[in-house]
Amino acid sequence: MWPKIVLFLCTGNYYRSRFAELLFNHLAERRGFDWQASSRGLALNARNVGAISQDTLIGLATRGIAVEGEVRHPQALGESDMASAHHIVAVNHAEHLPMLQRKFPHRVEEIEFWHVHELDLATPVEALAQLEREVLGLVSRLHALDQALRSPTG
């Protein structure tokens, strides 16, 4: 059953959720953490250029995280993605809650919502810094939970 899966959701699976996924996986690998991230989109945008946002790649490179190999294109969220995840995060409550209520109303209570804005309300530097803080906090919380469950008294 290992690794456990954390699923990041955003609108297009091109910018915010991809940054969160790749940052989380980098941190998990460095720390020997038994979790792996994936990400999906709620409303893919055919107008995106390439497989992943250049802002995401720049944000990762700025943090010393290399993206190697061929990068996959955005993927739409499906029921099986949600069913296989152990933890689900939607990166913007106001933006994503209505979409999730329409498409997956039976799953809304399982989702952790953050408040990271899209490019219309935040610069890439601001949004990616906020995502980094959120991902670091999530890694700490999940690690603490795993440690508690593994302890003899947990």
Per-residue pLDDT of 74-112, as tens digits, reads 999 999 999 999 999 999 999 999 999 999 999 999 999
- Spell out the domains of the chain, with CATH numbers in brackets: 4-150 (3.40.50.2300)
How many Cβ atoms are within 10 Å of 14's Cβ, its own excluded? 24
Q: Which two tokens stand for residue 108?
A: 């809304």
Per-residue pLDDT of 21-44, as tens digits, reads 999 999 999 988 889 999 999 999
pLDDT, averaged across the chain:
93
Give the containing element (helix H, strand E) for 57. Answer: helix 54-62
Check residues 5 and 154 and name the one with the higher pLDDT: 5
Per-residue pLDDT of 41-59, as tens digits, reads 999 987 888 899 999 999 9
Whether residue 1 has pLDDT greater than 80: no
Predicted pLDDT at 46: 75
Whether residue 150 has pLDDT greater than 80: no
Check residues 119 and 42 and name the one with the higher pLDDT: 42
The arithmetic mean of pLDDT across residues 138-151, rounded, is 85
Q: Which two tokens stand for residue 23?
A: 């940052």
Predicted pLDDT at 61: 97
User: How far is residue 96's CA from residue 17's CA, in Å, rounded to a whole number?
Assistant: 12
User: How far is residue 38's CA from residue 70's CA, in Å, rounded to a whole number?
Assistant: 16
DSSP letter (8 states) at residue 88: E
Predicted pLDDT at 153: 64
Whether residue 154 has pLDDT greater than 60: no
Whether residue 72 has pLDDT greater than 60: yes
Predicted pLDDT at 127: 97
Judged on CB neighbours under 10 Å (0-12, 13-18, 19+), 38 is middle
Judged on CB neighbours under 10 Å (0-12, 13-18, 19+), 103 is middle
Q: Which two tokens stand for residue 101?
A: 């209520």
